[in-house]
Amino acid sequence: MNVKTQETPDEEPESVEIGFDGLGLCPELLEALNDLGYEEPTPIQRATMPLLIGGADLLGQAATGTGKTAAFALPALQAIGANAAAVPSVLVVVPTRELAVQVSEAMFKYGRKLGIKVCPVFGGQPIYRQLKSLKRGVHVVVATPGRAVDLINRGALELGAIRTVVLDEADEMLDMGFADDIEAILKATPDDRQTVLFSATMPARITSIAKRYQRSPERIEIGRRGPETSNALVRQSVYFVQRRHKPTALGRVLDIEGPTAAIVFCRTRIEVDELTATMSGRGYRAEALHGGLDQQQRDRVMGRLKSGSAELLIATDVAARGLDVDSLTHVVNYDVPSAAESYVHRIGRVGRAGRSGVAITLAEPKEKRLLANIERLTKQKIPVERVPSVADLRSKQIDVTVAAIREELVAEDLPDFDGVLEALGTEDQRVVTLAAIKLLHEARGASQDEVEIPEISPQNDRGKGKRNKRDRNKNGREKKKGGSTRRPGDSSPGFLYISVGRNAGVRPADLVGAIANEAGLPGRDVGPIRISDNFSVVGIPEDAVADACKAMSSTSVRGKKAKVRRYVE
Ligand code: AMP
């Protein structure tokens, strides 16, 4: 077996080819990646794609979040090519239905320009619908092991033309008791297939499958390398937060931290643009920096950051390469970076020349393993912090207002405002003072954020997979899902469109109140909230959307009649 360990150099890789060129991908796939805003391959993609395009078998060690889906999907899609007959030629086997849907969506997006048809099949959904989809003709099937075996036994999943089999999260599948199903699937596919196996860990049970079912696989391990240290002057912390709460969490952490200037790293150009729009809408002076900008635009952005007229730079790794700004005090990872080394490079933007700095990471529970890679590389635990509550934020904002007023108490031009006080002469002085404080407080944007972010524990890692495990019967087969027993924060997010917005004076509390009173949802289930001039969009659990629309059919918000309907992004 050829073992290769992908290493990233200590210095920023200026000399390494940036972008996806040179990996051997066809124009349709390159175009799709460009449309998705991917600017450069992740280390696992750079290491594996040329090998897979060359037809090699692969044993890859990589966790979720490293970009491994695209690493196996793009070469597999390329092998199918454009205008191919719709018979299954790629079979991806994954442990959970959530992952089956996620991988299918990713492969559909990547393969759109090639006209590739993808079908997810998994337990818990009526089989007839999946039989129908398969019958219509597909190129790629993404299956959970139990359902794949069912479909093979029924003769509904035709395997004669399969060229590539991918086992994704193989260790998880073995942990869930799917070893027999996996072997049955591999035995049922043609011997001359390409076999790709990804696993976060490499126990003997995995290498034994590799030995029996792969042909001289290339072995790729990502990020296993010598010690690398991070700067002791940089205070690091991680906040666990669900994706839908990230913009609110980011704003709140920034408000509490009060950076002079901060850089927020996102994975794609599109994420950068979206987050820049969101944060600008929330009153931050945010600028986007990504590979889609020409030199002039880039210079303008950097100028605004250096002069202090922008406080937040939202950037991709590629665009921020070589960036050196003295005023930066905070680095934020909007996601856990897919390569541990890029975490070290990113946080190296602060804490330079003896100055102190702060590195903040917003992580979803499923990214815990990536975080562990970083901790292993830096030989340092990153403390987990609690996302500040609305009350924390309020108290911080009061502190800031008090400090601002204290500073003004010694200002020499105070007498210039005597006229205002005289004009209000008959009013109670205390009330006048409070009104002035309120104006100042609100002018600083202090009253905008009123959404409670549910606390989540990093222990929920791979929670979905674990839940699935309980959902299976003794034989390891997936059970059909019965009625719903929703727990708070358990459901996927849905959105309500409400036809009143900022112009009607609507504030987040009005929306939370209306939804709580009329739809009976607790405040913790409501959010994120986006208030535009003429309408608002509010996140609530998907399975509560239909009832909420019904319950709010004749609602008023801030005294205005409002139409409420499902919002589809
Ligand atoms: P995965 O490890 O496959 O679950 O991917 C993690 C996330 O990274 C997904 O949201 C992908 O869409 C995203 N992603 C994968 N490759 C890239 C890339 N080269 N550039 C930016 N984002 C990527």
Measured from CB, residues less than 6 Å from any atom of ligand 1 are: 38, 41-42, 45, 64-70, 267-268
| Predicted TM-score (pTM) of this structure | 0.62
* Centre of ligand 1 from the C-alpha of residue 38, in Å: 8
Report whether pLDDT(471) > 80.
Answer: no
Residues 6+ apart with CB under 8 A from 287: 276, 301, 304, 305, 310, 312, 313, 314
Q: Find the mean pLDDT for residues 47-63.
A: 94
The dotted CATH code for 4-222 is 3.40.50.300
User: Tens of pLDDT along 29-50?
Assistant: 999 999 999 999 988 999 999 9
The dotted CATH code for 493-566 is 3.30.70.330
* Centre of ligand 1 from the C-alpha of residue 64, in Å: 9
Nearest CA to ligand 1 atom 15: 67
Give me the chain's average pLDDT, please.
84
Backbone angles phi, psi at 205, to 5 degrees: -60, -30
* Centre of ligand 1 from the C-alpha of residue 415, in Å: 59
- Report the alpha-carbon distance of residue 162 to residue 87 in Å, rounded: 8
Q: Which amino acid is at 460?
A: N
pLDDT score, position 474: 35
Among 218-227, 334-343, 391-400, the range scoring the smallest mean pLDDT is: 218-227
User: Tens of pLDDT along 451-465?
Assistant: 778 777 665 443 333
pLDDT score, position 124: 73
pLDDT score, position 396: 81
User: Tens of pLDDT along 297-311?
Assistant: 888 998 898 888 899
pLDDT greater at residue 515 or residue 168: 168
Residue 165's pLDDT band, with cuts at 50, 70 and 90, is: very high
User: Tens of pLDDT along 423-450?
Assistant: 888 878 888 888 888 888 777 766 566 6
Nearest CA to ligand 1 atom 14: 67
Lookup: tokens for 237: 């912390």
* Centre of ligand 1 from the C-alpha of residue 68, in Å: 7
The answer to whether domain 4-222 and domain 493-566 are alike in fold is no
pLDDT score, position 401: 84
pLDDT score, position 354: 63
The preferred substitution site among 42, 72, 108 for testing ligand 1, maximizing ligand atoms within 8 Å of CB, is 42
- Beta-bridged to residue 120, according to DSSP, are 142
Percent of the chain with pLDDT strictly greater than 70: 86
Q: Do residues 21 and 45 lie in contact, with contact meaning Cβ atoms separated by under 8 Å?
A: no
Ranges of each domain in the chain: 4-222, 234-389, 399-441, 493-566
Report whether pLDDT(13) > 90.
Answer: no
Report whether pLDDT(487) > 80.
Answer: no
pLDDT score, position 448: 61
* Centre of ligand 1 from the C-alpha of residue 65, in Å: 6
* Centre of ligand 1 from the C-alpha of residue 45, in Å: 10
Nearest CA to ligand 1 atom 6: 65
Residue 516's pLDDT band, with cuts at 50, 70 and 90, is: confident
Q: Do residues 176 and 475 lie in contact, with contact meaning Cβ atoms separated by under 8 Å?
A: no
Q: Find the mean pLDDT for residues 503-508.
A: 82
pLDDT score, position 263: 95
* Centre of ligand 1 from the C-alpha of residue 138, in Å: 24
* Centre of ligand 1 from the C-alpha of residue 381, in Å: 25
Spatial strand order in the sheet of 384-385: 286-289, 312-315, 261-265, 328-333, 357-363, 234-240, 384-385
Question: Is 3.40.50.300 the CATH classification of the domain at 234-389?
Answer: yes
pLDDT score, position 27: 96
Nearest CA to ligand 1 atom 5: 67
The preferred substitution site among 30, 268, 369 for testing ligand 1, maximizing ligand atoms within 8 Å of CB, is 268
* Centre of ligand 1 from the C-alpha of residue 178, in Å: 26
Nearest CA to ligand 1 atom 11: 67
Among 73-87, 222-236, 359-373, the range scoring the smallest mean pLDDT is: 222-236
The preferred substitution site among 69, 109, 198 for testing ligand 1, maximizing ligand atoms within 8 Å of CB, is 69
Nearest CA to ligand 1 atom 22: 267
Residue 55's pLDDT band, with cuts at 50, 70 and 90, is: very high
